């Protein structure tokens, strides 16, 4: 596996602790109540979400639906930014995100006017 014996012993020791799961300490994410389907979304609506992935061109946000929404880099700030990491981080909770477009499988989001 490419690891030393002491590291392997530490891993085994931690895995044998019953009932210890650090993920249980994370707070639940308050998505918009009653939001179940992409057809319920309208341009101009405000939702909440969690940043799940960041790319050079934007960020993918879990808004509680099957498909993530996407905030293009141009919709992150009124001023020009070079990379989304200047404004957002992975697992960051966004209490208010504006829906700017809804397509069959895509949701365009913006935080430009909200931040």
Percent of the chain with pLDDT over 70: 79
pTM assigned to the model: 0.69
Q: CATH second-level architecture of 29-110? A: Beta Barrel (2.40)
Is 92 in a helix, a strand, or coil?
coil
Contact indicator for 72, 57 with CB cutoff of 8 Å? yes
In the chain, what are the domain boundaries?
Answer: 29-110
Q: Which residue has the higher pLDDT, 34 or 85?
A: 85
Residue 64 confidence (pLDDT): 81
pLDDT of residue 85: 94
pLDDT at position 21 is 57
Q: Which residues pair with 101 in a beta bridge?
A: 108
pLDDT of residue 38: 67
* Model pLDDT, residue 68: 86
What confidence tens digit (pLDDT) does each residue in 51-94 have? 999 999 999 999 888 788 999 999 999 999 999 999 999 999 99
Residue 95 has pLDDT above 70, yes or no: yes
| Distances 50 to 13, 28, 57, 94, 95 between C-alpha atoms, Å | 32, 11, 17, 6, 9
- Give the pLDDT of residue 16: 78
Contact predicate 30/74, CB 8 Å: no
The secondary structure of residue 76, as a DSSP letter, is S
């Amino acid at each position: 596996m490419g690891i030393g014996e002491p590291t392997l012993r530490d891993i085994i020791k931690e895995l044998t602790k019953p009932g210890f799961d650090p993920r249980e300490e994370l707070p639940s994410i308050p998505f918009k109540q009653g939001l179940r389907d992409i057809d319920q979304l309208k341009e101009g609506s405000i939702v909440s979400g969690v940043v799940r992935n960041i790319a050079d061109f934007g960020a993918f946000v879990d808004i509680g639906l099957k498909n993530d929404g996407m905030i293009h880099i141009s919709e992150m700030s009124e001023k020009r930014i070079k990379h989304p990491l200047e404004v957002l981080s992975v697992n960051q909770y966004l209490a208010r995100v504006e829906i700017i477009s809804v397509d069959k499988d895509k949701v365009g989001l913006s935080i430009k006017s909200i931040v």
